[in-house]
Structures are given as C-alpha cells and as structure tokens.
Amino acid sequence: MRKALGKGLDALLNGGMNESYEAGGENASGVQKIPLDKIIPNRYQPRKTFNEESLQGLAESLKQHGLTQPIVVVYDPGMDKYELVVGERRFRASQLAGFTEIDCIIHSKLDDKQMCALALIENIQREDLNPIETALGYKSLMQKFMISQTELGEYCGKSKAAVSNSLRLLNLEPEIQEAIKNGDISEGHGRALLMVSDEKKREVLFKKIISSKMSVRQAEEAAKNTMDETVKQKPQKTPDTLAFESSLQEALGTKVELKYGSKPSKGKLILHYNSLEELEQISQRLKNKML
C-alpha cells in the first residue's frame, strides 16, 4: 500500500491519479484506439536516452503478442493531438513495429504539474532511468511539490539514503555525470569520486578510473588514499603558532585561528563570535588594546 506523501504530491495523485490509472481512473475514458501520428511525446519526459536494441526487442514482442497494456494520453484541443502521459517505450516500440494505431486510455484533466509528476514517477518506479536522470527526476519532484527526501522515497519505494545518494551525483562535474549517463562508469564510481572534495584531484581520479577500468572497490580505495594525501599535505601548526593563538584567545575572550597561506609569511587571522553582543565585546577589546 502507498505510504503517506507530502501534501502537494498526495493531492496530485489522489482521485484517479495513482494505481487506478491502469483501469482508467475517474477522469479517464475507456480504452480507445488512436492513430500513432496523432500522438506526441510527453514534453516532461525525464528519460532522454532510449536503448534502441531494447526498443527493437519490445517491437518484435508487440508484433507477436500485441500490446498487453494501453498507454495513457491526454487530449490537447489546441494542437488537436494527444500528448503521452505514461508508456513512451510502448509508443516508440509500436512505431518501430510498423503499427498505425495504439490502444490508449484518454485522460481529460491533467495540468502541467500532473504530467510532469506522472512521467517522473513511472520511470523512477520502473527503474527505466539512468542514475543521472533519476537524480534529476528526484530533484524536479521535490522542487515542484515541496516534498522531503523521506516523503519522496516512501512513495517511490526507496530509502531516504538512496534518494540522498542519488541527488549527490548532481554535485559531480558535467563530464563525470555524462560518463555515468553513458554507462562508462557506475553510480558507485560516482559516489567514490564524491569522497574527493578537491575538484582537480577528483578529475585526476576520474581519468584513472576510466583508463585503468577500476572496480568500485578499487575506486573507493583510491579516493581514500587521495584524501589521506590531502590531509598529510596540510601544513601543521608549530608550538609557537599554537602559543600565539592561545595568548590572543585569552586577551580577546574568543576563539582565534591562524591559517597559513601558500607561504609562511602570508595567511589569515580568524576571530570567531557567536552573537552581535560578543562581536561588540571583541571590538571594544581591540580598540582598548590600540589606545
């Protein structure tokens, strides 16, 4: 049974917009045959790539067994066309099979948000999307319907951690995202690369993963080694520096940090404060020291 949703998505999917779609829903007609040339793709389809070999296999199956499940469309009177809502693979395969018409459930009341949500959810639940398309689908749903990762995960049958890990892939550089989309590296490789915060070092590791054909485990070990090297390269504070910080903290009554720059002669002196009152106190102490 479907668990509770965020109010926006819950309201969207109630009233014939969820599982009842397969039977037509309260706002849908019965099954009708529609000419394929009267149907246009869903403008909100999150899936950008379709495996031609898989589609050809489905087309051969349709030739032998016919369409066992109708697609769902909505009529657009302005264009005098039917726009796809659910079933784009079946639609494309029917075209490849040489069919001239297809069984459809025609829905009469769908707005743009509903079109977007249904296309995304169908693909996410059936795992038809590549990892980047899935992440973009999650992001779009969360933004459009103001729902949390937990709520979205519950509806799509995913854990919050799975949704979160998916969304983190969008923090990777476009080149790496493209490699995941194309299947050159896996989602697991992407998560390993996210362990490396430095963009240049991440790019170096990414190229090593490709050239060496690393497994995910090997990529994770390489990422850990890169992180360890980064920590080792950070300059360590000398006893004199620590003593300087301590004396200044005592004088100003707040946390003080001395950070090295590229050279020992350059850096930053950082004074911390937790309230405007504390900032005013630090300011007064500094002024008193200068007078």
Q: Is 178 a catalytic residue?
A: no
Tokens of 12: 């969207």
Q: Are 145 and 12 in contact (CB under 8 A)?
A: yes
* Helices assigned H by DSSP within 97-157: 112-126, 131-145, 149-156
Instruction: Name the active-site residue from 88, 133, 151, 154.
Output: 88
d(CA 114, CA 17): 8
The separation between CA 87 and the C-alpha centre of its own chain, rounded to angstroms, equals 22
**CB-count burial class (<10 Å; 0-12, 13-18, 19+) for 216:** middle
Burial of 72-111, coded b for 16+ CB within 10 Å and e otherwise, reads bbbbeeeeeebbbbbbbbbbbbbbbbebeebbbbbbeebe
Among the listed residues 231, 196, 237, 190, the one whose alpha carbon sits nearest the alpha carbon of residue 210: 190
Q: Are 67 and 132 in contact (CB under 8 A)?
A: no
Q: Catalytic amino acids?
A: 88
